[in-house]
Amino acid sequence: MDFKSLWIPLFIILVLYKFILYPTLFSPLRRLPNAHYTSPFSNLWIKWQRFQGRENKATHAAHVKLGPIVRVGSTEISVNSPELVKQVYCEVLEKDEWYARAFENYGYVLPNMFSMTKKESHAMRKRVLAGLYSKTTLHASPEIRDICRVVVMERLLPIFEKAAQMQRPVDVLEVSVSFSMDFICSYLFGICNGPNFLQDVETRRKWLASHAKTKRYGFWTLEFPNLTALLAKFGIHLVPNVALTAALEVRELCLQLLRNVDSSSSAKTLLLPPKGPGDTPVVYQRLSQSLCASVQEEIYRELPPTRSHLAVASELMDHIKAGTETSGWTLVYLLYEMSRHREIQHLLREELSLLLEPGTSLCFSRESKTPQAAEILPSPRTLDTSPLLQAVILETLRCYPAVAGPQPRVNHNTSFALARHIHLPAGTRVSAQAYSLHRNSEVFPDPESWKPRRWLEATPSQHEEMMRWFWPFGSGSRMCIGNHFAILELKLAVAAIYYNYITEIIDDDGIEPIDGYSHGPTGNKLILQFKRA
């Protein structure tokens, strides 16, 4: 018998071994409980859940039924406990290439901190930027004080004041996302260089519409990148040109803001005085000075000046994306739940009145349409002393984490053992999700309900256990560096709004969160009525 007559049965044997015998009899993962009967043989079940927009709930249901470690695919595992999260998100496992595909902005050769898969590159970039987002820096920052005054008191509250006077409902989703955009961009580029989405309705709606188009077709490029590229060569475009064009329009915003900074810098060379600390492009200055001059980040050494400019843009665009929808969606759900609980609005208003120091104010003047004593808003440290404000923020982040879905890591080390006894084959993708961690009924009784009092009434040991399972910003060295920035922004916005206004729900159809990596409202709106408190 010659080889030609043997290759077909040999091929069949190899296929059977790889897809049937190895996963069921020999794989180290064979002893793990399976989320689906096809999980040992294929990743198609979990990919189908992603495509259908059911991944978070399907994975959570598997954990409820099967325990803290579940095999969701032949090479994919989901974990759900603080101990396992600590092990997975340590220094051993790297980010999956999924991040490079999902969060690149101006090409794979120009990674930003979030899309970097290698921990060494990430650590170098983090050393440059982390200090700017530390709690100590933010609380003492004159730039942040200026930004709070301008964006919250001069842009955000006038919108709600006008709506209250005219008795006109407001779509707070559009306003909240615009507020977050203005707030983060003011810190990145300076108030005078950043956008003014809160007041420039036409520009913001155009950008938000383009941004929405980019999210509709991400599944194919993220889960089947090679297939997507191959089919495109034959004229079959799983991602239509309208989405690609929209992506260019979204990224153009950052390039325009960089041009604004360059123009502003040129003006300063003509000895024109800056308007205030808030006009300083804080993050841009640090990043451009450190990144473009650094010889440590080898990937940027040989870049021409124009590409170095894009390297800065890639990082800043990532901050824009991370700081816009996430904080904006969280503010939407804060307003939603506060509107459902009128008594908490009243209690928060009373608590804030007692905490405000002499000479500080959150009161918005009806007559002049300007804040009273805006230059001395309460400090972030003062707002941190409000237990109820802290509780409503924490409970909203628990119920509605902006990033609720799996955050994948991949094992490149064949000796890595999960929970000390489960040896993961190289290439295994492991992830945890805030959606499940935040729904442990033993730690958070009645987890589907928004109950800020759970944080106020918890004993010290209960509070410590709740924080162990609290995961809205991730953990480990890759934890979101903007967590303190987001908390500061949300606390000031909520305090300012409910010190001045009462909110009621007019239309909350579609408020239920999207089931996916990010977690905004499915209906993309929330209509509220504002009344003077």
CA atoms within 13 A on the CB side of 9: 6
Q: Is 363 annotated as a binding residue?
A: no
User: What tokens were used for 38?
Assistant: 């096809």
- φ and ψ at residue 452, rounded to 5 degrees: -60, -25
Size of the chain in residues? 533
CB 151 within 8 A of CB 198: yes
- Give me the residue label for tokens 């915003």: 253
Virtual torsion, Cα 476, 478, 479, 481, nearest 10 deg: 130
CA distance 411 to 300: 27
What are the DSSP E strand ranges found in 81-208? 94-95, 170-171
Q: Shortest CA distance to 146 belongs to which of 488, 376, 468, 405?
A: 376
- Give me the residue label for tokens 């230059």: 375
CA distance 360 to 292: 41
CA distance 325 to 211: 10
CA distance 368 to 323: 31
SS3 101: helix
CA distance 422 to 326: 35
β-pair partners for 70 = 78
User: What tokens were used for 366?
Assistant: 């009806």
CB 256 within 8 A of CB 193: no
CB 197 within 8 A of CB 203: yes
β-pair partners for 532 = 501
CA distance 401 to 434: 7
CA distance 149 to 151: 6
CB 513 within 8 A of CB 438: no
CA distance 389 to 398: 14
CA angle 97, 102, 106 (to 5 degrees): 105
What string of DSSP letters covers 194-236?
Answer: S--TTT-HHHHHHHHHHHHHHTTTHHHHHH-HHHHHHHHHTT-
CA distance 423 to 440: 26
Q: Are strands 429-431 and 409-410 parallel, antiparallel or unpaired?
A: antiparallel
Report the binding-site residues: 480
Report the binding-site residues for heme: 480
